[in-house]
Amino acid sequence: MKEHPLLRTLIGVGITAVIVVFLSVRLNAFRDYQIAEIATYVTAVAGLTVLTGLSGQISLGHGAFMAIGAYTTALLLLHLGWPFIAALLISGLLTAATGAVVGIAAARLRGPYLAGATLMLGVALPSIAYAYQGTFGGDQGLNVVFTAPGFLGASFPLTRWQAWIATATALVTLTLLANLSRGRVGRNWRAVRDDEVAAALAGINVAATRVLAFVVSAACAGLAGSLLAIITALVAPGAYTITLSITLLTAAVIGGLGTLPGAIWGALVIVLVQTYITDVATSHGLSATVGANIPIAAYGLILILVMLAFPQGIQGAVRRLIALFVPQKENIPHEEPTVRKKAHDEVSQPL
């Protein structure tokens, strides 16, 4: 049976949408909030997994792009009273433009140098909010007022509406990314990732390809930031620290780098595991300090163990599991996303 890949994606999207609507109606407000949170992280992690897994560029500063999206949305809603959908799109466009600038600056950088530059971006950008308190509200941040539209009725819970909006954005993003990575653009990304020289010889514009990956990925992070602004109702620099950037990268890697289903796994892990461990810790009557720190320590331990036991991430493990039971179809491209380890002598210098 030969299906069109886009059709398969759309069917998946439709099923997910139905499941989320069903869940959001059945579950309580806190779970709705979690759905919105997961969808937000899916959006951001999907963009990052494309950047790092497909085009081979690491970013330790994606939280900065989320911050740009979040502050853009907050300022547009606060001062201009724009409808959210317009603010969402503008946030995406603005972060895409920022991504282009960062991508151009980063195009010559490799490996740890790129990691260092993006890490510094992630650290430096939120500090602008402290330096220009008049515009960005400093430490306190900006409050975001967001309400469910009138036609849903006054009793419609806001968290459910937020869950719907976030899920819709995540699904649209995933569909676009799936389409993009399956086509010529995605092929170019993989070619550049695997061997730049060969890609250039094949007629691919390496620099443009790399910059495009940054643009796409930054736009996703911007959309996610915009969503985070409305679901947390507050945009403050404390939420967009380097910890956020690192969390996004770990989600991408735990889920399975370079795969979009992996982005969903990763988002589920970072939202649900944290809450679960906190619940367990507090229900066992541990003191507040210990209770607050156990999830952090456990999260670190899980990261290490997952990397040692399942280097291809959850999606890699799922694939292996599926391969055990289902004979391989010829049509499925079986990509192992590898950021290759360069041979020692290529980078070493005489001492």
Partner 1 sequence: MVEFLQFTLSGIVFGIVYAAIALSLVLIWRGTRLLNFAQGGMAMFTTFIALEVVYKTGEYWAGFVVALAAGLLMGAIVELVVIRPTLNKPELNSVIVTIGLLIMLEGLAGIFYGGQFRSFPTAFSVTGIHLGRTPLGVSRFDLFVAGAVLFATGVLAVVFKYSSAGLRMRAAAFNATVARLSGIRVARVLTVGWALAGLLGALAGVLVSPSTFLYPNSMDSIFVYGFTAAVIGGLDSPPGAVAGGLILGVGLSYVGGYVGGGRGSDLTAIVAMGILVVVLMLRPAGIFSGDRLRQV
- Expressed in percent and rounded to 5, the helix, strand and coil fractions of the chain are 75, 0, 20
Instruction: Indicate which single residue of 23, 82, 110, 176 sits in contact with partner 1 (rule: CB under 8 A).
Output: 110
317 is an interface residue for partner 1 by CB under 8 A: no
User: 248: which 2 tokens?
Assistant: 């996004």
Among left, alpha and beta (phi > 0; psi -120 to 50; other), residue 100 is alpha
Show the site string, 209-248: x = touches partner 1 by CB under 8 A, - = not.
-x-------------------------------x---x--
**Residue 242 contacts by C-beta under 8 Å, 6 or more apart in sequence?**
60, 61, 63, 119, 122, 123
C-alpha torsion sign, points 122, 123, 125, 129:
positive
276 is an interface residue for partner 1 by CB under 8 A: no
Q: Do 221 and 128 form a contact (C-beta atoms < 8 A)?
A: no
351 is an interface residue for partner 1 by CB under 8 A: yes
Please identify, among the stretches 71-79, 150-158, 159-167, 341-349, the one whose residues bind partner 1 according to the rule CB under 8 A.
341-349
100 is an interface residue for partner 1 by CB under 8 A: no
Q: Which CA distances in Å does 241 have to 64, 65, 67, 121, 321?
A: 8, 11, 9, 10, 36
State the helix-helix crossing angle for 313-325 and 242-255, rounded to 10 degrees.
Answer: 10
Show the site string, 172-211: x = touches partner 1 by CB under 8 A, - = not.
------------------------x---------xx--x-
Nearer to partner 1, 172 or 292 (CB): 292
Residues at the site binding partner 1, with contacts judged by CB under 8 A = 52, 58, 105, 107-113, 115-117, 119-121, 123-124, 127-128, 130-131, 196, 206-207, 210, 242, 246, 249-250, 253-254, 257, 289-290, 292-304, 307-308, 311, 337-342, 344-345, 347-351
